[in-house]
């Protein structure tokens, strides 16, 4: 009897070990409810139907990589503080949204808060190398290492004029004939004389007045390089106030302000965007992208013609605006990179995270198009935050080929000659602070409301603040980076 019990115990132990081995093996790629739950922090208000969507998401992720996902939505206004606290506490987490505008990726790397991802990608998520262009990885590296997976979306930059068609047609103005700002002046004069309740031009940025072949080196301190510098030629850092293009831009803005094309109370306007939406302007400016016509019609109710100014170019840190990183404190880094690979390559999963559940949060129109349901409990309007937007459903009003056009423009835009360069601000942090104070004090110069004397005074104050030292330091770092 004792021998029988011993044999039975051995058989049962063998069956249990076999079962555990099978579960362990399957859990690497197949469904495993005992797999880890990965946390992913993003700067977005928490939707009421989050858990419903997460349950649907996890049916996919458990089956494909043996892990679950829990997206932690944090109000955008509180996101920086929340991430700073998490980094400082050393709390375990897995994924987080990083960028150059919130939860700054460079700062996080300097704190040692993020994991290097190069080996993780090569060993656990090789498809990321296939779906993300190498130039995008190169542009987002820090000290030669990958610390974030960039989301594919609009990467190029090109300024453009926005001419609303209703008024242009009313005054028989051919918007497509505009090639330069000078071509626009007769029309602005017509609006000024005949539409007293409207403002001819809404200036949202001085960039439209300046040749777009300039690229700013952040943080804003007046440093510029010319993106059309031929490959192999010396890349010079210029002070924007020294360039003839900037001087001409200030002159043009002053002229338009004096003629009444720019509203006289521009310095006190707090939110020009809301007034543009309210239809108070005939012409404005924005950043161009494919499909912008439908997007602007949806938000303004007006059709418009968009006139690109300058050539499209890829900024030095294209892609850093929207990335996802792996926390240094994650105990599941291999699963975390697999999760990012899955979100970047699996269209069903990506659209589920971005738009929610069909019939509950959106209605499907056809294979390409959906219509989000307002007040549905999951209406993020932020597909760009999570992964490859080229895999996203189209919404009503978008052109059928908008993603193909965007990808083409990304791939053909002029690449920055300093791609991947990140300025070390430590040697010039005092001067940068002083320069920022001066620029804020003289912000009205960029509005075109000040005379030449005020402009010269600003230049003098910037000089005193140490702007030349800043330019010299940036040039030194850039020379070392480029080996020039």
pLDDT at 33 (0 to 100): 61
Range in 28-37, 38-47, 410-419 the model is least confident about: 28-37
- Does 123 fall in a domain? yes
| CATH number of domain containing 99 | 3.40.190.10
Is it the case that residue 26 has pLDDT exceeding 60? no
- Does 104 fall in a domain? yes
Confidence of residue 27 (pLDDT cuts 50, 70, 90): very low
Which residue has better confidence, 178 or 2? Answer: 178
Is it the case that residue 360 has pLDDT exceeding 80? yes
- Does 36 fall in a domain? yes
Number of domains making up the chain: 1
pTM of the complete model beyond 0.85: no
pLDDT at 212 (0 to 100): 64
Is it the case that residue 367 has pLDDT exceeding 50? yes
**243-287: pLDDT as tens digits:** 888 888 888 888 999 999 999 988 888 788 889 989 999 999 998
Domain of residue 54, residue span: 31-153+319-355
- Does 102 fall in a domain? yes
- Does 363 fall in a domain? no
- Does 88 fall in a domain? yes
Q: Are 98 and 111 in contact (CB under 8 A)?
A: no
- Does 6 fall in a domain? no
**110-162: pLDDT as tens digits:** 999 999 999 999 999 999 999 999 999 999 999 899 999 999 999 999 989 99
- Does 94 fall in a domain? yes
């Amino acid at each position: 009897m004792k021998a029988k019990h011993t044999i039975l115990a051995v058989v049962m132990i063998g069956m249990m070990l076999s079962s555990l081995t099978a579960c362990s093996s399957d859990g690497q790629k197949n469904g495993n409810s005992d797999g880890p739950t990965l946390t992913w922090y993003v700067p977005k208000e928490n939707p009421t139907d989050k858990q419903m969507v997460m349950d649907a998401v996890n049916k996919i992720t458990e089956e494909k990589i043996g892990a679950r996902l829990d997206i932690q939505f944090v109000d955008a206004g509180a996101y920086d503080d929340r991430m700073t606290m998490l980094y400082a506490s050393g709390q375990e987490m897995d994924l987080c949204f990083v960028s150059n505008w919130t939860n700054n990726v460079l700062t996080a790397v300097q704190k040692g808060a993020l994991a290097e991802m190069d080996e993780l990608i090569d060993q656990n998520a090789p498809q990321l190398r296939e779906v993300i262009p190498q130039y995008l990885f190169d542009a987002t590296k820090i000290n030669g290492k990958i610390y974030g997976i960039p989301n594919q979306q609009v990467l190029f930059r090109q300024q453009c004029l926005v001419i609303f068609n209703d008024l242009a047609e009313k005054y028989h103005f051919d918007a497509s004939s505009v090639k330069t700002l000078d071509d626009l002046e007769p029309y602005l004069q017509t609006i000024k004389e005949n539409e007293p309740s409207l403002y001819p031009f809404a200036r949202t940025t001085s960039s439209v007045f300046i040749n777009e072949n300039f690229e700013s080196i952040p943080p804003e301190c007046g440093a510029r390089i010319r993106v059309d510098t031929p490959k192999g030629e010396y890349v010079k850092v210029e002070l924007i106030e020294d360039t003839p293009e900037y001087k001409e831009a200030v002159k043009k803005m002053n002229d338009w302000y004096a003629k009444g094309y720019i509203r006289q109370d521009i310095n006190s306007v707090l939110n020009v965007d809301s007034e543009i939406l309210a239809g108070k302007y005939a012409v404005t400016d924005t950043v161009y992208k494919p499909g912008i016509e439908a997007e602007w019609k949806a938000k303004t109710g007006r059709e418009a013609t968009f006139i690109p100014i300058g050539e499209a170019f890829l900024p030095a840190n294209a892609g850093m605006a929207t990335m996802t990183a792996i926390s240094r404190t994650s105990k599941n880094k291999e699963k975390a990179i697999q999760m990012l690979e899955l979100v970047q390559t699996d269209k069903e999963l990506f659209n589920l995270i971005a738009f929610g559940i069909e019939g509950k949060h959106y209605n499907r129109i056809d294979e390409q198009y959906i219509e989000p349901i307002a007040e549905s409990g999951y209406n993020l309007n932020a597909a760009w935050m999570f992964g490859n937007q080229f895999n996203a459903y189209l919404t009503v009003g978008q052109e059928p080929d908008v993603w193909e056009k965007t990808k083409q423009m990304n791939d053909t835009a002029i690449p920055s000659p300093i791609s991947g360069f990140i300025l070390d601000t430590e040697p010039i942090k005092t001067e940068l602070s002083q320069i920022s104070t001066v620029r804020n004090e003289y912000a009205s110069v960029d509005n075109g409301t000040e005379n030449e004397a005020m402009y010269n005074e600003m230049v003098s104050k910037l000089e005193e603040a140490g702007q030349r030292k800043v330019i010299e330091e940036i040039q030194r770092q850039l020379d070392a980076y480029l080996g020039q």
